[in-house]
Amino acid sequence: MKYKGETNSLEIGENNVIREYVTINPGTKGGGEKTVIGNNCLLMISSHIAHDCHIGNNVVIANNVPLGGHVTIEDSVVIGGNSAVQQFTRIGRLAMIGGMTGV
């Protein structure tokens, strides 16, 4: 997959806290061209949001958590530090993922 100048976007909601060294990639043509972060989320230090991810409202992503591409995280999810989420994964509403967990 290579960027060829196509339209893409990143939508970030209100009242989010995005800490140091967080990286967020915009969407890609193959994934709907949009990455979305809801409202009232906390993205802690060195977390990574890959292309075409959809993050709901009131989500906490702790330190050093990478999300692969096309991940969907529903509302009020907490992901513990040093966990990793594989691409094309859906995490349901109110889920709590313990630290150092592979999903």
Give the residue numbers marked as catalytic.
51-52, 69
Q: Is 24 within 8 Å of 8 (Cβ atoms)?
A: no
